[in-house]
C-alpha cells in the first residue's frame, strides 16, 4: 500500500461513520483481543453502547464521509398523468399543482400512450411521478399499467400514484395491497385541491430523490471498493455474501455474476469467529480458501459490523492481499502464457526452429485457468503501474474463450522479415478476416450424379493399378500415379481397397460393398476436379494417411471397428465440394455458405453437412442405412467432430490439448514450466477416458490433412506446387473482384514457394508431427519434414522462388526414374 493511499476500510469506515451519524448504528469494539487491547472502536457508537473510556486512548474518529456523496442535484419535477377522461378535473388539478411547484406536467389518455411516452423518453426524461386514474377499471386497468411500467428499465425510482374514488377508498373492504403489489408507491383519494396535490407530489418526489441518491452513493462506494487492492466482502448477519469487490473475486476465483455463495466455505479463522460473535470492529487474521488452490491462505483482515437498528445487518471484511503475493508472485505462469503466442521472427530467422514439445505444455488447457488468473492478480500487489497494466491485459486475455486461437501480431518488422510465412499462417489461423469461386468444375453441383456416370467406375484391379493399390499402406504410396491411372478418380479406387478391403468398413457398418462403391463415387464426384490442391486426390491422400495411422499398434488397439470406419469416412469426405478458395475468401465475398454458417468454420461445416446430406439422401449410397439409431448417432458425431477438427483456426487448440493430456514434463524440465527444450515423455494413461480418445482422433485427421509436408520429398514438393497454385488463383480472383486479398504475398509474380514451405513446416508441421509421431511411433513423419525443410532452404538460398524454378530444380536433383509427372505436364 502506498503511503497516503486510502484503504477500502477507510472508505467503508468513513461511510459507516456518516451513516452512523444519520441513522445507522455501528459498533462497539472487540477486535482481536491482543491487537486492540485498550482501544475502542473508531466507528460511531450509539450513546447506550458507548462505555466511559479513557478518551486519550481513543483513536481519532475517521473523517466523516462528505455529505456530497448523498447529494442529488435538484431537477425540475416531471409529472405524467394518465387519465382516460378528456377533461378530467382531477388531472387538471394535479397538473396545475406541479406547474405551481416549478415542474412540468404532461397528460396522456390511455395506458398505451403512457407506455409509448415512457419508451420514447426512457433514456432522457423519465418522469419523477406518474399519476394513474384508477377510478374506472372497466376503461383502464391501472394495476396492469403499473406492472408494465415497472417492467421497463430505469423506472425503479419513479413514483407511481393511483387515484381512487373517495367512495371506494372509504369502504371497509378497500384493499391497498393489490396496488402496492402491482408497483404503485401510493394510493391517493381523488381530489380537486391543488394544494393537496402539490403536497403529495412534492413529498413523493423527495422520498424518491433521497432513495435514488442513496442507491447512487452505495453504487459509487462499490465502485470505489472495486478499485482497491484489498479484498472486500460484505455479508449479511447470516454470512450470505451481498457484495464482493473485484480483488476478492479474482483471488478467491469467484465470477462477479455468480449467484449467492456460501461465505463459511470460503473464509475461516479468528476473523470469522469475531464477526459471527457480534464484534463490531475487529482486526484479526482470516483463512481464505481459493477455488484454484487446495491450500488456504492466511490474510490480515479488518472487519466491521453495520446495523440499521440495534441488530447487525451487514458485516464488512477487508483483507490485505500481501500474503498471497509474497508466496505466489512470480511463478512461471506468465512465461507460459507468453509462450502461447506466436513469435514469427524467432521462428523464421533461425531456420528450422529448435522445437520441443515442452513449450506446448505451457498452453494450460486442463490446468485450472482460475488459478492462473488469481495468481496473476495477486502478483499486481505492490508492482509498478506498468507491470500492473501488463498483468491486467494478460488477465483480460485469459478470461476470453479464445485462449488457444493465436492471433497474428501486426508487426511491420516481422512482416518485412518473413512476409510469406506471416501471410500464410495468418490466413490459416484466422478464420474471421475475410468465398464461392467462379473456378468451379463443370460438374461441381452437389446433387447426386446419374447412375450412368458411375457405372464406368467399377473397381478395376488389374495390372499397374493392382500393383499400386497393393502398396496402399506404405508411407511413400504413389498417390499421383494412382491419380493418373484412375484418370482423376483415385478416391474411389483407394477407398474400395482400404475401406472395403483392408479395414472392412462394410462389416462395421453392416452395409454391402456396392453401397460403399456408390458412396465413394458420389463423394469423389463432389470434389472439384479443377482444383489443383483441394480435389479428390487430396482426399485420397488424407484417407491413405489415416489408414497408415490406424494400422499402427497404438491406434489398432485403441479404436473400435466403428471408430476406425468413422475416421476413414471423415478422411474421404473432409474437403468435399471445396471451392478452391478459403473460408476467409467466402466470407469476404459474402458467399451463401458464409451467410449460412455465420462466417464460422464455413468450409468445414459445409463439408460435414454435405457429407450427410448426400449419404442420407439416397438409399443406394447410404452406408449408414443398417445402423440402429444410437449407433448412427455415435458414428455421425464422430465424423462431424473429425471433419470440424480440420479447421485450421483451431490448430493450436487441438494440438495443445493433445500435448497437455498425453505428454508429461520430464523430470529434467524446470519446475516453473519454462521452455527447456527437454523432450517430454509420452504418458498414455489418459487413454482410458473417452474424452481423451476424441483428442487422439482429432489429432489423427489433422495430421493426415497436412501430412503432405511429412511425405517423401517428391510428393511434398508436388503438393507444395499444387497448394501454391490454388492460393495464386485465389489472389487473382480477389484482385479481379476487388475483394480484400487474404494472402497478398501469394501472388504468382512475387511469391517464393520455398519460403512459404519453410514457414509452413516451422509453424504448423514440426511441433505437431513430433507429438503425433512419438504417439503412434512413426518417426518418418518428422524425418521427412526435416529433410523437406532442409531442401527448401537450399532452394531458397539458391534463389529459387517460382513454381517453374522449383520444378526445374527438382528435375535436376532427382534421378529420372523417381521424377514424377505432374498433372500439368
Ligand X SMILES: Nc1ncnc2c1ncn2[C@@H]1O[C@@H]2COP(=O)(O)O[C@H]2[C@H]1O
The residues binding ligand X (CB under 6 A) are 424, 428, 575, 646, 648, 705-706, 708-709, 719-720, 723, 756-757, 760
Residue nearest to ligand X (CB): 760
339, 670 in Cβ contact below 8 A?
no
CB of 771 to ligand X, least distance (A): 17
CB of 220 to ligand X, least distance (A): 53
Q: Which residues pair with 107 in a beta bridge?
A: 81
**CA dist., res. 490 & res. 424, Å (int):** 28
CB of 347 to ligand X, least distance (A): 15
CB of 533 to ligand X, least distance (A): 7
592, 749 in Cβ contact below 8 A?
no
**Cα torsion at 582, 587, 591, 593 (round to 10°)?**
80
DSSP 208-266: HHHHHHHHHHHHHHHHHHHT-SSEEEEEETT-BEEEE-HHHHHHHT--TT----BSTTT
Pick 658 or 760: Cβ nearer ligand X:
760
**CA dist., res. 809 & res. 823, Å (int):** 18
CB of 473 to ligand X, least distance (A): 22
Tell whether 578 is in a known binding site.
Answer: no
Q: What is the largest CA-CA distance in the chain?
A: 112
Start-to-end CA distance of the chain, whole Å, equals 75
| Active-site residue, from 493, 518, 534, 654 | 534
β pairing state of 663-664 and 267-268: unpaired
Active site residue 534: yes
Tell whether 675 is in a known binding site.
Answer: no
- 3-class DSSP state of 718: helix
454, 521 in Cβ contact below 8 A?
yes
Pick 719 or 775: Cβ nearer ligand X:
719
Pick 15 or 717: Cβ nearer ligand X:
717
CB of 760 to ligand X, least distance (A): 4
- For 720, the grid coordinates are 507444395
Tell whether 534 is in a known binding site.
Answer: yes
**In b/e form, how buried is each residue of 580-610, taking b as 16+ CB within 10 angstroms?**
bbbbbbbbbbebebbeebebebbbbbbbbbb
Tell whether 57 is in a known binding site.
Answer: no
Distances (CA, A) of 291 to 266, 373, 435, 593, 689: 9, 11, 45, 43, 25
**CA dist., res. 232 & res. 217, Å (int):** 17
Pick 700 or 723: Cβ nearer ligand X:
723
724, 756 in Cβ contact below 8 A?
yes
The one-character DSSP state at 358 is: G
CB of 475 to ligand X, least distance (A): 16
Tell whether 537 is in a known binding site.
Answer: yes
Tell whether 574 is in a known binding site.
Answer: yes
- 3-class DSSP state of 317: strand
Give Cα 643 distance to the centre of its chain.
21
496, 472 in Cβ contact below 8 A?
no
* 713 burial via Cβ count (<10 Å: 0-12, 13-18, 19+): middle
Tell whether 654 is in a known binding site.
Answer: no
Composition of the chain by helix, strand, coil, percent to 5: 50, 10, 40
CB of 757 to ligand X, least distance (A): 6
Pick 190 or 604: Cβ nearer ligand X:
604
Pick 250 or 789: Cβ nearer ligand X:
789
Total Cβ atoms within 10 A of residue 350: 10
Pick 302 or 607: Cβ nearer ligand X:
607
Pick 375 or 716: Cβ nearer ligand X:
716
Pick 43 or 655: Cβ nearer ligand X:
655
In terms of Cα–Cα distance, which of 821, 700, 798, 806 is closest to 753? 806
- For 698, the grid coordinates are 482429432
CB of 720 to ligand X, least distance (A): 5
- For 277, the grid coordinates are 460473535
Catalytic residues: 534
* Residue positions forming the annotated binding site: 534-538, 574-575, 705, 757
Binding site residue list for AMP = 534-538, 575, 705, 757
Amino acid at each position: 500500500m502506498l503511503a497516503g493511499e486510502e484503504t477500502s476500510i477507510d472508505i467503508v469506515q468513513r461511510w459507516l461513520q456518516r451513516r452512523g451519524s444519520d441513522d445507522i448504528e455501528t459498533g462497539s469494539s472487540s477486535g482481536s483481543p491482543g491487537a486492540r487491547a485498550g482501544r475502542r472502536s473508531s466507528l460511531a457508537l450509539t450513546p447506550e453502547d458507548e462505555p466511559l473510556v479513557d478518551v486519550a486512548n481513543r483513536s481519532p474518529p475517521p473523517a466523516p464521509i462528505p455529505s456530497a456523496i448523498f447529494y442529488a442535484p435538484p431537477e425540475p419535477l416531471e409529472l405524467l398523468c394518465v387519465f382516460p377522461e378528456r377533461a378530467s378535473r382531477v388531472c387538471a388539478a394535479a397538473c396545475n399543482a406541479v406547474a405551481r411547484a416549478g415542474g412540468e406536467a404532461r397528460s396522456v389518455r390511455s395506458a398505451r400512450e403512457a407506455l409509448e411516452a415512457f419508451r420514447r423518453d426512457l433514456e432522457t426524461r423519465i418522469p419523477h411521478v406518474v399519476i394513474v386514474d384508477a377510478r374506472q377499471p372497466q376503461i383502464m386497468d391501472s394495476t396492469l399499467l403499473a406492472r408494465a411500467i415497472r417492467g421497463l428499465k430505469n423506472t425503479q425510482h419513479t413514483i407511481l400514484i393511483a387515484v381512487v374514488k373517495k367512495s371506494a377508498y372509504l369502504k371497509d373492504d378497500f384493499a391497498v395491497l393489490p396496488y402496492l403489489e402491482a408497483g404503485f408507491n401510493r394510493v391517493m383519494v381523488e381530489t380537486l385541491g391543488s394544494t393537496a396535490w402539490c403536497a403529495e407530489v412534492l413529498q413523493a418526489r423527495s422520498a424518491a430523490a433521497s432513495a435514488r441518491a442513496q442507491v447512487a452513493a452505495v453504487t459509487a462506494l462499490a465502485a470505489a471498493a472495486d478499485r482497491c487492492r484489498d479484498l472486500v466482502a460484505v455479508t449479511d448477519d447470516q454470512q450470505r455474501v451481498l457484495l464482493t469487490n473485484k480483488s476478492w473475486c479474482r483471488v478467491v476465483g469467484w465470477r462477479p455474476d455468480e449467484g449467492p455463495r456460501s461465505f463459511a466455505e470460503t473464509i475461516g479463522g479468528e476473523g470469522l469467529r469475531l464477526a459471527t460473535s457480534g464484534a463490531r470492529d475487529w482486526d484479526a487474521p482470516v483463512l481464505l480458501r481459493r477455488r484454484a488452490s487446495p491450500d488456504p491462505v492466511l490474510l490480515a483482515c479488518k472487519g466491521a459490523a453495520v446495523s440499521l437498528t440495534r441488530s447487525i445487518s451487514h458485516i464488512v471484511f477487508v483483507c490485505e492481499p500481501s500474503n498471497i503475493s509474497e508466496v505466489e508472485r512470480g511463478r512461471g505462469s506468465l512465461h507460459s502464457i507468453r509462450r502461447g503466442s506466436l513469435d514469427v521472427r524467432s521462428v523464421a530467422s533461425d531456420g528450422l526452429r529448435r522445437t520441443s514439445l515442452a513449450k506446448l505444455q505451457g498452453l494450460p488447457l486442463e490446468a485450472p485457468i482460475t488459478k492462473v488468473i488469481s495468481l496473476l492478480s495477486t502478483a499486481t500487489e505492490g508492482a509498478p503501474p506498468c507491470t500492473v497494466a501488463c498483468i491486467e491485459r494478460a488477465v483480460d486475455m485469459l478470461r476470453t474463450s479464445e485462449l488457444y486461437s493465436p492471433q497474428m501480431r501486426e508487426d511491420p518488422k516481422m512482416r518485412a522479415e518473413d512476409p510469406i510465412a506471416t501471410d500464410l499462417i495468418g490466413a490459416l489461423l484466422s478464420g474471421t478476416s475475410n468465398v464461392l469461386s467462379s473456378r468451379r468444375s463443370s460438374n461441381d453441383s452437389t446433387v447426386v450424379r446419374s447412375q450412368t456416370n458411375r457405372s464406368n467406375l467399377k473397381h478395376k484391379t488389374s495390372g499397374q493399378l493392382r500393383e499400386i493399390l497393393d502398396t496402399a499402406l506404405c508411407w511413400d504410396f504413389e498417390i499421383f500415379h494412382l491419380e493418373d491411372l484412375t484418370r482423376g478418380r483415385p478416391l474411389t479406387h483407394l477407398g474400395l481397397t482400404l475401406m472395403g478391403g483392408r479395414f472392412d468398413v462394410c462389416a462395421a457398418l453392416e452395409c454391402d460393398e456396392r453401397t460403399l462403391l456408390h458412396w465413394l463415387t458420389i463423394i469423389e464426384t463432389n470434389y472439384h476436379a479443377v482444383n489443383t490442391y483441394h480435389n479428390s486426390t487430396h482426399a485420397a491422400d488424407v484417407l491413405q494417411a489415416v489408414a497408415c495411422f490406424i494400422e499402427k499398434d497404438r491406434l489398432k488397439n485403441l479404436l473400435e471397428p466403428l471408430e476406425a470406419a468413422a475416421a476413414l469416412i471423415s478422411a474421404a469426405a473432409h474437403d468435399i465440394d471445396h471451392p478452391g478458395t478459403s473460408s476467409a475468401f467466402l466470407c469476404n465475398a459474402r458467399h451463401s455458405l458464409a451467410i449460412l454458417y455465420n462466417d464460422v468454420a464455413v468450409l468445414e461445416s459445409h463439408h460435414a453437412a454435405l457429407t450427410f446430406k448426400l449419404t442420407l439422401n439416397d438409399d443406394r449410397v447410404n452406408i449408414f442405412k443398417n445402423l440402429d439409431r444410437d449407433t448412427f448417432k455415435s458414428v455421425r458425431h464422430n465424423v462431424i467432430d473429425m471433419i470440424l477438427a480440420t479447421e485450421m483456426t483451431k490448430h493450436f487448440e487441438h494440438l495443445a490439448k493433445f500435448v497437455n493430456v498425453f505428454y508429461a514434463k520430464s523430470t529434467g524440465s524446470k519446475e516453473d514450466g519454462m521452455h527447456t527444450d527437454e523432450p517430454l515423455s509420452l504418458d498414455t494413461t489418459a487413454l482410458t477416458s473417452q474424452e481423451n480418445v476424441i483428442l487422439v482422433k482429432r489429432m489423427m485427421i489433422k495430421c493426415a490433412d497436412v501430412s503432405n509436408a511429412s511425405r517423401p520429398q517428391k510428393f511434398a514438393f508436388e503438393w507444395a506446387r499444387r497448394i501454391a497454385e490454388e492460393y495464386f488463383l485465389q489472389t487473382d480472383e480477389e484482385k479481379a473482384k476487388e475483394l480484400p486479398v487474404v494472402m497478398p504475398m501469394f501472388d504468382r509474380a512475387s511469391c517464393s514457394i520455398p519460403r512459404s514451405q519453410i514457414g509452413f513446416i516451422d509453424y504448423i508441421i514440426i511441433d505437431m508431427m513430433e507429438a503425433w509421431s512419438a504417439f503412434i511411433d512413426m518417426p518418418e513423419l518428422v524425418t521427412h519434414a526435416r529433410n523437406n525443410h532442409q531442401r527448401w532452404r537450399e532452394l531458397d538460398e539458391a534463389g529459387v522462388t517460382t513454381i517453374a524454378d522449383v520444378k526445374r530444380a527438382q528435375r535436376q536433383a532427382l534421378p529420372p526414374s523417381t521424377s514424377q509427372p505432374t498433372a500439368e505436364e
